[in-house]
Structure 1
Amino acid sequence: MEQEAILGKALAGDINSFQQLFAAFQNQLKSYLYRLVTDRNDVDDLTHDTFIRAFDKIATFNRQSSLKTWVFKIATNLAYDHLKKLRRWPADAQDQGAALAIGSSEIAESFRIVHSTFNAGAYEMKEHIDFCFTCISKTLPIEHQVALILKDIYDFPVKEICLILDKTEGVVKHLLNGSRETMTEVFDNRCALVNKNGVCDQCSQLNGIFNPKQDQQEERMKLDLVKGSKKFNRSELYDLRTVLVKAIDPLHSSGSDLQDIIMRCTRTAIGDVGDFFEKPGTN
């Protein structure tokens, strides 16, 4: 009843009441936006713009969905406008990022500085698997990426995703099936943790750099994903990855600062950022 009273005040134009409701899902909204745009400054801008637009249009909220879903729809539309100016990521984006880091002593040193001096500069394989999930999801068309992340990472019901994307249930289910198949296929060909024939072994390489005294095989085996890799089929492995990713907030994990600078390097390598060292907000 108290929430209804707060919502009533918000609908009447009380910005403090709206702020109170918005705050309840703000962290999840920002996490979601980061997975879409992969840039903290853009996340802050989009979150601010979402708040302003939602409050400005609060009188049009008709309660056909939760307020959270309604706000996520606004945020998704803003993110879509931002992302459609950029090209989809290639499947080898991480390879390009790794090549850039290896070829630049300055970038490599910036990684080491973040790792050794930042509060969230730790390296854990599970967080890099989350990083990989985000990178691979960005190879999808925007609507596929949105549907996949909302359903498989943030547990939005299909009916609410239909409202957010303004699509029928049949279309959303088609988007989800296609997205999962693409993600599974790319992971099958790249993730050396579960496929030793894969071309990507970043988890082991980075673990060796940032945790040089740690036994890499021991670290691998700590992950349920790896423990189960021999007994699960490829779709079940995808499900295991989503369980792991759900448990990680890419903006507030123990290694979020390190993964963010690695992400920036990747974005630079594929041309989303003009210069790795340019000041935030100028790209």
Structure 2
Amino acid sequence: RTSSIQLLRDQLFYSCLSFMNGAIDKSQYELMSRRYQRQVVALMAIEQLTGAIKAPPITLSSDNVAMASRAAQQLSKDIASTDAALKQLNDDLAKKPDAEKKPLQDEIDRLTKNRDAMVQGLSNTRDVLAGGSIKVEVSSVGSSTQRTDGHVLAVAETVREIVRDITGINDLPTLCFSALSSAKEETTTPIRGICESYFKDKVDKVEARFQGIIKQQAIAEDPTKSPSERALASQEVERLRDQNRRSMEVLSRPRGKSF
């Protein structure tokens, strides 16, 4: 994953942790979540444009070590079961008369040789585990090539616009929605007064532009007006409509532009 995606993951985690610990309230947590959603879109766009550096996929293989580990476990079990069988045979051997001891002694000798071989095998397996190596493979499948300096310069203005749009977002409408939604109807607070004034101002401006649209539309459709007057009126209608659309998106325009 890229560094920005890792950063966003960490931010989301710590926001959740802060909310669970009571360091932030519900409205603050919702605001942070909204911000992260916008930031994800912007960061992914910037990374695709600039070719962000990211760690390539890495594969670790240790088949020999894994097989040696399994073999060591099995040999240890076999040695333990052989020891138990030898103990039982030695106990039986002590109780048998001399004429009947040879078959038991032969079996004891056979198991002893097997045990010695297993002990040697276990020793060799442990050497493999101690000196085993892990193979590391770096894959380039699916990894995009890094952009050249010329490419970065070509997309620099686009990246600048993305950054301006994201950092220019006005969070006051969101905060006001949360404050007014959670406030009691009869409660009067400074923040409530600020938010009500804010929304009233927005509504008044939208209404004023609607009236301007109606007026300019009438001029644009008036056959008694000159073509230049009608063209200017049509342009003003589109400008006012565009401003109202942006007002409905409750965004503050970057670089000091107002609604």
Give the TM-score, by structure 1 length.
Answer: 0.21
Give the TM-score, by structure 2 length.
Answer: 0.23
The answer to which structure has the higher helix fraction is 2
Bigger radius of gyration = 2
Greater relative contact order (Cα < 8 A, sep 6+): 1
